[in-house]
Structure 1
Amino acid sequence: MTHRLSRREPSASVPLLAAEGVHAGYPGGPDVLDCVSVELRRGTRVALLGANGSGKTTLLRCLSGAHRPRTGDVLVDGVALTHRSGPLRAHRQRVQLVLQDPDDQLFSADVRQDVSFGPVNLGLPDDEVRERVASALSALGLAHVADRAVHQLSYGQRKRVAVAGAVAMQPEVLLLDEPTAGLDPRGVAAMLAALERLERSGTTVVMATHDVDLAWSWADEVAVVLDRVVHQDVLVKVLTDEALLEAAGLAVPWPVALLRRLGREVDVAFPPRTATDVAALLG
């Protein structure tokens, strides 16, 4: 567990979004999260790892405002979120959560209508709604299917439509629960390319995933949920900690495993992220 952790200009030292001492669970059961603290900084990619049932989704739901902690606070620019309708509405415009299964979020007849749902419910003028929808579809590489029925899309396309619906709200933070799960390599590449475009526009992305290799190649920081608490630090420190990863049911990323088999350690300052990096290091 780590404690490194309004639109006014926040201090650079204040996280964009944080959980502080959060206990959370569900009626009739024990806490899923026990005094959890985590910090998400503007422009920092955070991968959230952990075994099934460890509490990753619960933590994302707390951060998004969809689940109220039993105790502790969710902070935005250092200000505690209050679970009243007005503050929650404002919070959900700044922080959007996309669930793992796109069919849990897609319900309109066609893609354009589905992506427009959030902006329409904000009461925005028609011109702005159209502009937001077009921008979100373009960012996710979906402009060519804008008028297609949702049920005619591939699974990967539906996942990107779900993300586009969140993006149309123009959030500062995008919380993604297993965005690459169930996708083939081409689908994963398309999703990651779309996320990179969103980051260039200023969106901070947090990704829950079981894919340690993906986290190694993508993230700046890693947060591992284990035994109801969170261990968060920079990428190399967390993903080279074999004891921590084994306890969480995870393995070290393949570049780390390969280098250790060869009797070498990872350079903390310049970790090899890709196969090309590893080849250059060993060449």
Structure 2
Amino acid sequence: MSHRLGSWTPPHDADTALALRGVHAGYAGAPRVLDCVGLTVGIGRRTAILGANGSGKTTLLRVLSGAHRPDEGVVISGGAVLDHGRRALTAHRQQVQLVTQDPDDQLFSADVRSDVAYGPTNLALPQPEVVARVAEALSVLSITELADRPVHRLSFGQRKRVAVAGALAMKPTVLLLDEPTAGLDPAGVEEMLAAVAALEAHGTTVVLSTHDVDLAWRWADEVALVVDGVVHQGEVTDALTDTGLVRAARLRPPWSIELLARLGLDPAEVGWPRTPDEVAAALRVRAVP
């Protein structure tokens, strides 16, 4: 059974954007991927789904998005159990958008503007509304200058941001990002995180999957660790300092936690530093006689 760590408790229903309850999921002819999973995504809370490659992170996101129907259990969206009928799924996907790891799986049009407009156009929105949504999405992702660029002329990082812009143009309440920083160089990672921050400033709750523990430690409020098909959810400072659980997920603790442990320091006593600057500041304070 899935369980939660420490003193963390799920947000009140009014504060819940999306949830899973008792979800079992898999694929025909293969071992079950998710086993009685519970997960709560709080409104405005940064949730990182962590696990090794092949652990089930993508399946978890697909279940949340409605793209994969669980064998058992329910998805709760907008306070109600998700019906997997066509009409209900269409409405759900307007509120919950999934951006896949490979942007080329989601880019269909010849140029950036047309691609970002694809979703709103399919909603049969008035053309002025489509134009406004596209302009806003391009601006939030800082790619307005790419609007008329052919998609095949974009870098991998640019294509990732265009895919996110296409999802944002649907004005979702929750955006699910599957490995959004995978394949990006350090500058590209910073650009993607800046884009995510801009999405949050516009009221979108962001959930991202990753196997990068340091990224999750730096970014997340809560972590959902996927271990052998079971999800263990908790506050980031509880989940990622549980060394046994982190290693069971075939990951390693955050570098800052390992460093502090080697120095004999309790991370809680030095303020849970998450960035290099915070670690340096904590060590300077500690060194003052």
Q: TM-score of the superposition, structure 2-length normalised?
A: 0.94
Q: 1:22 to 1:12 in 2, by over 3 A?
A: closer
Q: Give the AA of the match of 2:130.
A: V
Q: Is the 8 A contact 1:2 1:38 kept in 2?
A: no
Q: 1:72 to 1:129 in 2, by over 3 A?
A: same
After superposition, give the CA deviation of every residue in 1:89-123 in whole Å (9 maximum; x if it has no partner): 00000000000000111111000000000000000
Q: 1:149 to 1:267 in 2, by over 3 A?
A: same
The residue that corresponds to 1:111 in the other structure is 112
The residue that corresponds to 2:37 in the other structure is 36
The residue that corresponds to 1:137 in the other structure is 138
SS in 2 for 1:60: helix
Superposed, 1:45-124 pairs within 5 Å as 45-124=46-125
Q: Is the 8 A contact 1:14 1:78 kept in 2?
A: no
Q: Is the 8 A contact 1:14 1:77 kept in 2?
A: no
Q: Give the AA of the match of 2:34.
A: L
The residue that corresponds to 2:250 in the other structure is 249
Superposed, 1:169-180 pairs within 5 Å as 169-180=170-181
After superposition, give the CA deviation of every residue in 1:109-166 in whole Å (9 maximum; x if it has no partner): 0000000000000000000000000000111111000000000000000000000000
Distance (whole Å) between structure 2 residues aligned to residue 193 and residue 54 of structure 1: 27
Distance (whole Å) between structure 2 residues aligned to residue 229 and residue 59 of structure 1: 11
Give the superposition deviation at 1:12: 5.3
Give the superposition deviation at 1:267: 1.1
Q: Does 1:275 align with 2:268?
A: no
SS in 2 for 1:138: helix
Distance (whole Å) between structure 1 residues aligned to residue 136 and residue 163 of structure 2: 14
Q: 1:207 to 1:170 in 2, by over 3 A?
A: same
Bigger Cα displacement from structure 2, 38-47 vs 77-86: 77-86
After superposition, give the CA deviation of every residue in 1:193-216 in whole Å (9 maximum; x if it has no partner): 011011011000001011110101
Unaligned runs of 5+ in 1: none
Superposed, 1:220-231 pairs within 5 Å as 220-231=221-232
Q: Is the 8 A contact 2:66 2:84 kept in 1?
A: yes
The residue that corresponds to 1:264 in the other structure is 265
Give the superposition deviation at 1:11: 6.2
Q: Give the AA of the match of 2:39.
A: V
The residue that corresponds to 1:194 in the other structure is 195
Q: 1:152 to 1:259 in 2, by over 3 A?
A: same
Aligned residues: 279
Distance (whole Å) between structure 2 residues aligned to residue 112 and residue 269 of structure 1: 47
The residue that corresponds to 1:25 in the other structure is 26
SS in 1 for 2:3: coil
Seq. identity, %: 61
Q: Give the AA of the match of 2:81.
A: A
Distance (whole Å) between structure 2 residues aligned to residue 119 and residue 202 of structure 1: 18
SS in 2 for 1:57: helix
The residue that corresponds to 2:287 in the other structure is none
Distance (whole Å) between structure 1 residues aligned to residue 15 and residue 152 of structure 2: 43
The residue that corresponds to 2:157 in the other structure is 156
SS in 2 for 1:250: coil
Q: Give the AA of the match of 1:225.
A: V
After superposition, give the CA deviation of every residue in 1:172-197 in whole Å (9 maximum; x if it has no partner): 00000000000011111111101101
Q: Give the AA of the match of 1:226.
A: V
SS in 1 for 2:83: coil
Q: Is the 8 A contact 1:111 1:146 kept in 2?
A: yes
Q: Is the 8 A contact 1:49 1:209 kept in 2?
A: yes
Q: Give the AA of the match of 2:30.
A: G
Q: Give the AA of the match of 2:55.
A: S
The residue that corresponds to 1:168 in the other structure is 169
Give the superposition deviation at 1:27: 1.2
Q: TM-score of the superposition, structure 1-length normalised?
A: 0.96
SS in 2 for 1:170: coil
